[in-house]
Each structure stands twice: as structure tokens, then as C-alpha cells.
């Protein structure tokens, strides 16, 4: 039960030299381990449950940049709206509408990524390309959200060719919309890659990786 400092320092050096943002995924891990990593200079942390995130946020340093990476229910947005740094898992207009509303109440703008469904598995959340187009056509009225990029998860498989193709597909979608010039939407962040597939994700153009088990060890 300790963080893998060596793996972390190595990752930080490798990613830093390529200007890739490392989000340390701390879900299920205790605040003590988050503090250890924070002491090494890590500021970006990712969580996927609202309640767990809120508890940790209240106990940990206020300059941590919290990323929400799990499926987010509209009725829970208000619990994280005051402090969340980046919501990476926006997958509907309804959710975006609620984030805009709660951001406004908190007198702030909340940065978001749109989650794109690239895996073949049924269980993974996200927008398909048609839904992405529809959403982008309807965000003009939102004054308190900023769409900063896209996020995707590849299939859970050892077949790295398959994983690579899925990441490549997402990069294509990203590139096709990169020139968009809506005030509250500039796609600059491409969040793809986890412990098992981040090297492939980076080769395919990722500039933000979300890494848990490699740093914190396996989850129960």
C-alpha cells in the first residue's frame, strides 16, 4: 500500500518533455496516498465518483486540480460545481446544460471535455460522431462552460492494434473539429491513454493521459 514513486518520476519526466499533461487517477485510493503524490509535485488528480471526490476535496489542499472522469449524473453536478477543474466526461446536451447552470450559480466558467465513444464495448459511455455534431451545433448559448477538447477510452483488450485504431479514430475526429471557432469551444486537449495503453495513445496524438494503477498500484 504505497505509491510507486519511481514509476511516477519516470512518467513525469517522459510526459513532461513532450508537454503531455498527467492526470493521476486516485479513485478508491486513500487521501494519505494522494498527499504523498502531491508532495512530489503532482497537482492534477482524477476521480470518477462524486461522493468520493467531494470527501477527498474537502480534506486535501485547495490547489489540487480535480478532474472528473466518470459518468456524471446531471443531479450531482451541483456538488462539484464550485471547485471542479475539468469535467472530462460530458456526454449529453442535457448534462452540459446543467453544468452551465451550476457554473453560473457559482459565478464561474467550468472547463469540459466531450467524451467520445470509440470502443466497441457496449458499456463505455460517450457520444458518437452524429451526437457530437449535434452537440457542437447547440452550445452557442452556454456562457458558463468552455469546451476544451475530447476524451475517449479504448477497448479493454491486449490487442494493441485495435486500441491504436480506436485512438487514431478519435484523433481524426479531434483534428476535424480543431479549427472550430465558437467562443466557448476550442478543442486543444485530447485526453486518451491509461496505464495499459498510454504509450500507444501518445503515439497517436494524445496530450493528456489519465493514469491510476501504474502510480498507485492495482485497485481492489
Ligand X SMILES: *Cc1c(COP(=O)(O)O)cnc(C)c1O
Q: Are strands 65-68 and 208-211 parallel, antiparallel or unpaired?
A: unpaired
Task: Tell me if 101 contacts ligand X by CB under 6 A.
Answer: no
Which residues on neighbouring strands pair with residue 151, listed in sequence order?
Answer: 115, 191
Task: Tell me if 124 contacts ligand X by CB under 6 A.
Answer: no
CB of 181 to ligand X, least distance (A): 29
Grid cell locating 179:
479549427
Binding-residue pattern over the window 28 to 57 for ligand X, x denoting contact by CB under 6 A:
--------------------x---------
* 48 vs 144, beta carbon nearer ligand X: 48
CB 202 within 8 A of CB 193: yes
CA distance 92 to 77: 13
Angle at which helices 129-136 and 160-177 pack, to 10 degrees?
A: 20
Query: Which span sits near ligand X by CB under 6 A: 58-66, 135-143, 169-177, 211-219?
Result: 211-219
Task: Tell me if 195 contacts ligand X by CB under 6 A.
Answer: yes
Query: Which span sits near ligand X by CB under 6 A: 56-64, 106-114, 160-168, 193-201?
Result: 193-201
Task: Tell me if 164 contacts ligand X by CB under 6 A.
Answer: no
Neighbours of 71 (CB within 10 A): 14
Contact partners, residue 96, CB within 8 Å, separation at least 6: 90, 112, 135, 139, 142, 145
CB 117 within 8 A of CB 125: yes
* 77 vs 126, beta carbon nearer ligand X: 126
The correct pick among 14, 21, 27, 109 for binding ligand X (CB under 6 A) is 27
The correct pick among 132, 153, 154, 200 for binding ligand X (CB under 6 A) is 153
Task: Tell me if 25 contacts ligand X by CB under 6 A.
Answer: yes
Task: Tell me if 213 contacts ligand X by CB under 6 A.
Answer: yes
* 147 vs 151, beta carbon nearer ligand X: 151
Grid cell locating 53:
471526490
Task: Tell me if 170 contacts ligand X by CB under 6 A.
Answer: no
Report how far apart, in Å, the C-alpha atoms of 130 and of each of 57, 92, 119, 165 are.
36, 12, 16, 19
Grid cell locating 72:
456524471
Task: Tell me if 196 contacts ligand X by CB under 6 A.
Answer: yes
Which residues on neighbouring strands pair with residue 90, listed in sequence order?
Answer: 114
Which residues would be at the binding site for ligand X (CB under 6 A)?
25, 27, 48, 69-70, 153, 194-196, 210-214
Amino acid at each position: 500500500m504505497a505509491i510507486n514513486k519511481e514509476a511516477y518520476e519516470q512518467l513525469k519526466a517522459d510526459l513532461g518533455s513532450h508537454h503531455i499533461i498527467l492526470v493521476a487517477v486516485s479513485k478508491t485510493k486513500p487521501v494519505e496516498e494522494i498527499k504523498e503524490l502531491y508532495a512530489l509535485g503532482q497537482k492534477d488528480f482524477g476521480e470518477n465518483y462524486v461522493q468520493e471526490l467531494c470527501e477527498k476535496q474537502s480534506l486535501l489542499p485547495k490547489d489540487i486540480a480535480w478532474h472528473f472522469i466518470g459518468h456524471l449524473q446531471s443531479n450531482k453536478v451541483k456538488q462539484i460545481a464550485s471547485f471542479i477543474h475539468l469535467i472530462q466526461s460530458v456526454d449529453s446536451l442535457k448534462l452540459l446544460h446543467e453544468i452551465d447552470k451550476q457554473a453560473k450559480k457559482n459565478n464561474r466558467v467550468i472547463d469540459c471535455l466531450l467524451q467520445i465513444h470509440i470502443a466497441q464495448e457496449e458499456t463505455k459511455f460517450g457520444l458518437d460522431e452524429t451526437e457530437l455534431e449535434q452537440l457542437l451545433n447547440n452550445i452557442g448559448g452556454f456562457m458558463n462552460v468552455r469546451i476544451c477538447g475530447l476524451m475517449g477510452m479504448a477497448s479493454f483488450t491486449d490487442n494493441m492494434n485495435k486500441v491504436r485504431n480506436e485512438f487514431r479514430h478519435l484523433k481524426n475526429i479531434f483534428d476535424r473539429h480543431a479549427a472550430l471557432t465558437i467562443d466557448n469551444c476550442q478543442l486543444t486537449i485530447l485526453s486518451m491513454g491509461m496505464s495499459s495503453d498510454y504509450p500507444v495513445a501518445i503515439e497517436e496524438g494524445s496530450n493528456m493521459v489519465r493514469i491510476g494503477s501504474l502510480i498507485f498500484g492495482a485497485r481492489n
